[in-house]
Chains A and B, each alone.
Chain A
């Protein structure tokens, strides 16, 4: 795999994750752009596996500063609106688990939870989503 960001295979999933975090297509694009910009200045993200971890960790951290979106307008925003409304860190943990880029161990490290806390957070968001659907 290349270390060129253009060829990183996880960029589009990064945008989907950013859409879950921001709830808005425009903000998702801007967030991914900011993170890529930040990564361009780093020397520790040359290996694709490491770059992937840095990329998704940076998105996770950056999302703390975003304001929740109240209205889902486009089909893509509507598709993830229910995920967007979930609380952190369960929302991120579950979205990243569903995208399939990280195993449980790495996921726990990425969202800053212990293994048991990660399981609890995932169970919580799944229950919330089931409850919202009924």
Chain B
């Protein structure tokens, strides 16, 4: 990491996080080479600490606090009308879920919705620019060591996807969990690999795809194999993505 890249990375970090994350520590080490940028960072830390303390010290006035909690209670009450804890709704929902699950299992050969956390990752991934990837020229299946050196040990590519040529790779963080991201020029795809369990994802049956379309112009498909999720994201529709996955 260059001192300039390190400075840029640290510009978007909370001062209390500087001592924790490995990326922060790497960036701080890289900044040692530039006293000027290091001074600049020290000014940032002082400013952020000052304003964080000032912002947290703003008292929520009593009437506003009461109104806040009243709004919270009103929101809670509205939610309770549809509360899952209501025995009647719960019974109806269980019946419906079982019926739909059974139908879905038989008709589609797969079960479950697209996981919310995987969608968060997909949404973040399509915002990445080319300059946010490290250039690599290798096939997807050959990058295991590359990610191992970055500290991600669970990088695995499912059969059929190993031979795709990769132009760039990076290790992102979502909820402090590492997410491997590959830029694949063919079909303008992104591949992502991440550990399912820490993100609360469980996709069954193993190896089956869950699909989603988002932001009106992207589609993603995710599967889980032995606790590791593999997701393909394209600019296009679900139909186009299904066609790509079938043709591999």
Contact = CB atoms under 8 A, between A and B. Distances in A.
A89 interface: no
Contacts, number: 145
B15 to A, nearest CB: 9
A99 B55 contact: yes
Given A80-B58, A105-B124, A6 B51 contact: no
Contacts of A109: 120, 123-124, 127
Contact of A97 (B12, B82, B131, B173): B12
Contacts of B72: 4-6, 8, 11, 36
Contacts of B73: 5-6
Given A16-B58, A28-B64, A108 B74 contact: no
A83 B74 contact: no
Contacts of A118: 12
B75 A37 contact: yes
Interface string A64-100: 0000000000101001100100000000011101111
Question: Chain A, interface size: which category?
Answer: 35 or more
B34 interface: no
Secondary structure call for the A interface: helix
B13 interface: yes
Interface string B68-79: 110111111011
A19 B65 CA distance: 13
A88 B215 CA distance: 22
Contact of B58 (A44, A79, A113): A79
Given A11-B68, A12-B68, A40-B75, 20 more contacts: A13-B56, A15-B60, A16-B56, A19-B58, A36-B75, A37-B71, A39-B75, A40-B74, A41-B78, A79-B54, A94-B51, A104-B13, A105-B124, A105-B174, A107-B12, A114-B127, A114-B132, A115-B128, A115-B132, A116-B132
5 contacts: A25-B61, A79-B57, A100-B52, A109-B127, A115-B9
